[in-house]
Amino acid sequence: MKKWLILINVILLAGILSNPVSAASNFPVHWGFNKGKNEQQAEAGAKYDELLKKYHAFYKGNPNDKVLYLTFDNGYENGYTPKVLDVLKKEKVPAIFFVTGHYLKSKPDLVKRMVAEGHIVGNHSWSHPDLTQVSDEKLREELRKVKDETARITKQKEMLYLRPPRGILSERTMQLANDEGYTHVLWSLAFRDWNVDQQQGWKYSYDNIMAQVHPGAVMLLHTVSKDNADALEKVIKDLKAKGYQFKSLDDYMVKERGKKPNK
């Protein structure tokens, strides 16, 4: 029995050493950070910072610039995205909407409107799986289908930004995404806004955003939230009054990296 166990361990070790997509490289990382407060930046810690730097990913911008990056995750529609788009248009604020296949199929007109009004559509995967649990081929398919369908229904023909479902990633998934031309975009401001059965009024959203906001914040909001839709205009106006500017992720890439990703 002992000989068989030794043999099995040798075989498993040989497989890991010979396979770059090993268990170690696919160890799942669940994104998290210490929230910002008093307009001081959120901090994920050195380990996460090193991982993101290795794969050219980011979750916040320059701590010395009062610039904000507004991002939304759109897995499905709950009736509030039109109001969000109305506010963004009125306030001349750019955003990126990370969409799934379900959203593209169920609300193509809203996706068209996003692009037509100058926003970016990003990749949130086709079926919203844990990408660390799918094969390389399946991961590429998840990304390709979102990109292709977005290109089919809108004038946006390239797709450069990826937000992994549920914020779960690994070195394997980050490398594969890089190979497909994507930059991972995480976030430095978020709160429990996605539960449609636990909406608490516009002030809940407003207070959470204002408590965490900081220079360079990548703000994650969900458009399924009535609280967010109702609070957004006041949030934007009050943050502008505090000296903040809203910029697109393309602006971030030009300013922080000197170019768009993979160009």
User: Catalytic amino acids?
Assistant: 73, 222
Task: Please report, for residues 46, 59, 213, 225, 228, the alpha-carbon distance to residue 70 in angstroms, rounded to integers and kept in the order given.
Answer: 24, 12, 11, 15, 12
**Residue whose C-alpha is closest to residue 50's, from 62, 59, 63:** 59
d(CA 226, CA 200) in angstroms, rounded, equals 9
